[in-house]
A and B are shown apart, each in its own frame.
Chain A
Amino acid sequence: MVQARHVIYLALTILVAIPLVAPLGLPVQVSAYTKEMYDAVEALPPGRPVGVSISWGSANWPECGPQATAVLEHLFKRPVRLLLASWVVEGPMLFERILNEIDKAGKRYGEDYVLLPFIPGGETAFAAYAADIVGASGGVDYYGKSLRELSAMKDIRNIDDLSYQIFTTNTSIDGEMRQWGKYKVKLGCGLLAGAVPGAMPYIVAGRIIGMLNGIRGAAEYELLIKKPGLGLKSTDAVSLSHVLALSLVIGGNIVYFGRRKGWIP
């Protein structure tokens, strides 16, 4: 027997599939927080190192993947050195996947960017990384090469030697802020939309410069760097699925009140 939830599942499938076949091309307004991150990347001093980290697994790829891809696409075009760090075991593989997709603009591994190995321990790892990046990585990169021998690591000791640390995460940012908040490094973040409310105290306080809000944040960043990707492709599906969510919340309440007042049997 067909139940309400079966109809909802079918409607959701259709609404997400439609824009993939026939994009609606709805305009996307760039938010102040996304613009702030773009401007911060544009203003990076040449030759200085920048950190980018991943704290999300492959299940969050649709939302966090486009954020990290867009930001790295932009950073690779800037005259900066890059340190790619991972707090989840899948992080280095996810970075490799992104690096295979983006235009690296002639940057060379070891000279311009370094992929650090997975650093375990959650918040303890944040603290260890902030205090001694080479030590926390065990002295080697993801491929087992000595970090001291890589020119990209020149003059890098702790997190304050970075000119910007961008972290992408699928959860609360309290751990990063507790351990990195006391340092002077400029911080930026890419978050799952659901994690944004918990991050607002740090953002409105000005401790975080630039924030990408879910898949929409990724789409906005793609617009700014003029490189349409998965983020922009997904925004129409996000719009239609959000309209469905709204309709279901309103419809559910109409049914609820209708039953209470006796309008609906």
Chain B
Amino acid sequence: MSVLKAREIPVGLFTCVVVVLILGYFTTVRQLIVAADYLAAFGVLMALIAIFLGVVDALRIHLRHIAKRTPRQWYLSAWLIVAMMMMFTLGYAHKPTYDVLYSKLYIPVSVGIAASIGYYLYSAFFRAFRIRNMEAAVLFACAIIIILKNAPIGDVIWVGFGEIGKWVTDVPGAGASRAILMGAALGMVALAIRAMLGKERGYMGGE
């Protein structure tokens, strides 16, 4: 029976990379710093390869939909491939047309879709923001102060909203964010230790 089972190899690789990165960050040993920087540059290369794989995979999935004539999907897949190929070709062949399509079509459509979410948000202001208990009352008071601090009309109503709003964000807001930050950091450390011990295998497709 092989000493190195399939699981141990990725865990070993992961542990080596993590140890080099941590030591490169926290020590002043030149070799370790160079190795950590090299690994970071390698990560950028891996991300580029992942993007290429994503394009290939999207093409594979959507070409299959077109070939199978999947109901209510195949024509959307065909449109996606046409749009993808058109932008890809124009980006190299005719940059001015590409820029017009990007600036005058893609950006306004993206902004429009994002803005439509705002409508749901305003509906939620009316339906969901109820003062049911003390915590909700505090949240309500802070929300009013921050809304009036961020909108110029708040300064017109009363200049004090800016000062109180700044105190809310700088003191209790920063304190609460700091606590969340430290909690998340400790969670990340625990996760890294579990992954190095082979107990956390989500990153290699395990459970």
Contact = CB atoms under 8 A, between A and B. Distances in A.
Given A197-B173, A200-B177, A201-B178, A58 B110 contact: yes
26 contacts: A4-B126, A27-B155, A27-B156, A59-B114, A121-B43, A122-B47, A125-B43, A136-B44, A174-B181, A197-B169, A197-B173, A197-B176, A198-B177, A200-B170, A200-B174, A201-B174, A216-B150, A239-B153, A240-B153, A241-B122, A242-B148, A244-B122, A246-B144, A249-B140, A252-B126, A252-B130
Interface in A9-58: 9, 12, 26-29, 31-32, 57-58
B68 interface: no
Interface in B94-137: 99, 102-103, 106-107, 110-111, 113-115, 118-119, 122-123, 125-131
A204 to B, nearest CB: 5
B186 interface: no
A216 B40 contact: no
Given A96-B99, A242-B147, A253-B130, 5 more contacts: A9-B123, A26-B153, A27-B155, A121-B43, A252-B129
Chain A residues touching B, majority SS:
helix
A132 B148 contact: no
The size bracket of the interface on A is: 35 or more
Interface in A214-247: 214, 216, 219, 235-236, 238-246
B41 A132 contact: yes
A199 to B, nearest CB: 8
A253 B180 CA distance: 29
Contacts of A93: 99, 102-103
CB-CB nearest 3 A-B residue pairs: A124-B43, A121-B47, A242-B151
B152 interface: yes
Interface residues of B, number: 58
A213 interface: yes
Interface string A58-93: 111110000000000000000000000000010001
A248 interface: yes
A87 to B, nearest CB: 10
A89 B110 CA distance: 15
B176 to A, nearest CB: 8
Contact of A61 (B99, B111, B123, B178): B111
